A = this chain, B = another copy of it.
Amino acid sequence: MNKTDLTRLLEEVARGTMGVNRAAQHLFNLPYEDLEYACVDHHRSLRKGFPEVIYGEGKTAGQIQGIMEKIISREAVVMATRIDPEKAAQITAAIPGTTYHTDARILIWQNQKPAMTGRGTILIISAGTSDIPVAKEAALTAQLMGNRVDTLFDVGVAGIHRLLDHRERIQSATVLIVVAGMEGALPSVVAGMVARPVIAVPTSIGYGTSLGGLTALFSMLNSCCSNVAAVNIDNGFGAGYMAACINRA
């Protein structure tokens, strides 16, 4: 159910062809569908501005396909994250119009390009080359949710001049996503350069005391700059989603 559907329903209420209580009931309780293994939440696009996104891990290809088909029947876009290539192959074969983004491990079906509704530009910065897949997951998500996205990869603090050289691009973004593993220092340095909100994404890149990304995460949460908030380790999708919510006009 999107805003158009909603408007129609509300007009019926205004015309008296639908009672207020029934409408409220309809809006709050009905819009989910029980697939036995999943309760598809059709109400979500109304409540949150974007339809339910499918988290692929721990679900079979068949389950993912089933949920996607239910959403496709009502929405203009569907997105599934953390999809490995095998599941992707099965699903793209079964649902025409679905595209798989290998790096970002994201599956997308859409029946039209998303309108660019966000303000300005969301800039996505990665500290290293190995952090790029997570950065791309963020970029794809933000774009799909209607934002202009710019990227700046491999500008970690080991050579701070590479970063300073892009000061202008950095300072003109409306929201920034900074992706870094290892010591996770980059979000602090970037946040120190801008007044805008920075979403920090720790990655599991590193070894030993990187502790699978916990060190980068804890670093980011201890940033000496305060325009920083963090999402879960390797959660590019969440960062893109949060940035899009912030950037909504």
Contacts and interface: CB of A to CB of B under 8 A. Distances in A.
A221 to B, nearest CB: 4
A159 B246 contact: no
Given A129-B58, A207-B232, A241-B227, A222 B183 contact: yes
A193 B189 CA distance: 15
Interface residues on A, range: 35 or more
Given A57-B205, A233-B209, A242-B228, A153 B37 contact: yes
Copies, count: 8
Contacts of A155: 39
Contacts of A44: 158-159
Interface string A199-242: 10010111111111111111111111111111111110111011
Contact of A154 (B37, B202, B229): B37
Contacts of A91: none
Contacts of A58: 128-131, 205
Interface of A: 21, 28-29, 32, 36-39, 41, 43-44, 47-50, 52-53, 55, 57-59, 63, 67, 127-132, 153-162, 164-165, 182-185, 188-189, 191-197, 199, 202, 204-235, 237-239, 241-242, 245-246, 248
